Chain A
Amino acid sequence: MQQGSLVVVGTGFLVAGQVTPESLASMRAADQLFFLVAEPATRLWLESLFPAAESFNDLFWDGRSRQAAYDEIVERLLVPVRQGKDVCAAFYGHPGVFVYSSHAAVRQARAEGFAAQMLPAVSAEDCLFADLEVDPAASGCQSFEATDFLVRGRIVDPHSALILWQIGALGVTTYHLRELWNAGGLAILVEALCRVYPPSHPAVVYEATHYPVCDPLIQRTTIAGIPDCQVNTHSTLWVPPIARAPLDAEMARQLGLSV
């Protein structure tokens, strides 16, 4: 194994309130720490604890292709690793969920013969389960990025829960600063959901909180009511199952279960 290593960690969502001890230890032990954190209080906390840390926020500007920024992050991380340094990269939320550059950097570092690891963190989905008090394993759970759900002809079964991410950024591939990137897209989303669910079926537009003193934003509505909610680029849609799926009696018999 060559000298030089990469550890990718996540900071969760509550400034310092959700950082795990193993992640913090990796941040402390690194020769060089990079971070990509959108939220200003978390940034301040990181900068106060690690004055030498370098932010990736300068790689994003209005109208820039997100992919170009992500590719540049991978390159910036690999440079000091190749110089033999122990590098740590901190992302907000979970570093492996909706973060292209973290996985790509770990793969690239390993391909070049360096030790590379990702540590788990609290994700937006973990916050959703705790705040909405739902068990995704109770009836199963399907999750998709909202644009992907629409343009890839995704199959959903209404007997399992459904999560759609980034419902405020439908069809958007560039970085914009506007709060709601594609308001008109929500009507198209509702149309697609109505092929699977009754319009009156409950739905929740959810946004995790970033601050210990604030409550999460939970808007309880119906499928038809989604466009009337306050939606931004951090909004997530939760749709509970319509009912339990019917039991396969023959399978129950084979498993020896009397249900």
Chain B
Amino acid sequence: MAQGRLTVVGTGYNVAGQVTPEALTCVQRAERLFYLVSDPATGAWLKSQNASAEPLHHCYREGEPGQAACERMVERILAAVRAGHEVCAAFYGHPAICVPPGLESLRRARQEGFPAQMLPAISFEDCLFADLGVDPGTHGRILCEATDFLLRPRRFDPTASLILLQVGAIGLVHFREDTTPNRAGFRLLARALRQQYPESHQVALYRASQLPILEPSIVWIPVSELPEAPLSTNSTLYVPPLPRRPLDQEMLTRLRQAMSEV
């Protein structure tokens, strides 16, 4: 029997428009293709590329924690690998970011002795940087899942860009078909941000375009108006940096001296 292998790829956000050639090759060549994507068009496109394509979405059960669904997906993927197939698992966006079954199936396959690899893809942050004109290199950036940001407070640098994920789904740890955002959780986040930023500080609620014909959704508002901001479960919040701290001249001198010593 042939040895099974696993490649985990991402499809980006624009149906077929953002998939990389190397990921597409894996999608097409796989003996078994599994996928978890956010819109029917991407699913239909994947089926057109590989007739074996099987959706993973029905691993979710109403009212269950996300972990149970993740476990079911990993088991579906691994069963095909153990059966000796060349398996590809395709997730929307980047397969390492915020999709636990991507990394977990990779780890488990390798643990069981199968070759396994992940390919990079366009992430929601890549879309945000392009659509909002933000260079994360200029001021630095903090990325955090919004529920985690509130539940496990950490020190963070407000002079860097802050990107908070899943701000419409704060505290919603169980799967629901209902996609009503959690306004109460979002208000707790708004309160926490008011302690760090001035009321007039402009922030953006952002949703990447899911289809080539649609524009991304970008709404700029001051921190003071966040509690009533338009919200959906897949909104991302972008908080621009506060003004830079003054340059540490002593440190700069030390770095320049270190350079001339080489």
Interface residue ranges, A against B (CB under 8 Å) = 12-14, 16-22, 94-100, 103, 106-107, 118-123, 126-127, 129-131, 133-137, 139-145, 147-157, 159-160, 165, 170-172, 181-185, 187-188, 212, 244-248, 251-252, 254-257, 259
A-side interface mostly: loop
A103–B159 Cα distance when bound, in Å, is 20
A residues in contact with B245, CB < 8 Å: 152-153
Given A21-B17, A257-B171: A142 and B160 interface contact (C-beta under 8 Å): yes
* Count, chain B residues at interface, CB 8 A: 76
The answer to whether A122 touches B129, judged by C-beta atoms less than 8 angstroms apart, is no
- Asked if B171 and A188 sit within 8 Å, CB to CB, the answer is no
**Cross-chain contact B252 with A171 (CB below 8 angstroms):** yes
Q: Among the listed B95, B106, B131, B170, which residue makes an inter-chain contact with A255, where contact means beta carbons less than 8 Å apart?
A: B170
Expressed in whole angstroms, the minimum distance between the Cβ of B163 and any Cβ of chain A is 9
Smallest CB separation, A216 vs chain B (Å): 10
Q: A18 — which chain B residues lie within 8 A by C-beta?
A: 20-22, 120
Nearest B residue to A149 by beta-carbon distance?
B140
Q: Does B98 contact A (CB under 8 A)?
A: yes
Max chain B Cβ within 10 angstroms of own Cβ: one of A187, A244, A257: A257
What are the nearest 10 A-B pairs in CB distance? A184-B258, A171-B255, A120-B126, A245-B152, A255-B171, A98-B137, A144-B140, A126-B120, A140-B144, A22-B17
B122 beta carbon closer than 8 Å to chain A: yes
Contact in complex: A135, B151 (CB < 8 Å): no
From B94, B95, B173, B212, A257 is in contact (CB under 8 Å) with B173
- Chain B 93-116 per-residue mask, 1 if CB under 8 angstroms from chain A, else 0: 011111010010011000000000
Of the candidates B22, B106, B126, B244, which one forms a contact with A152 in the assembled complex, judged by CB atoms under 8 Å apart?
Answer: B244
State whether A126 touches B122 (Cβ < 8 A).
yes
Please give me the residue from chain A that is nearest to B25 by CB atom.
A17
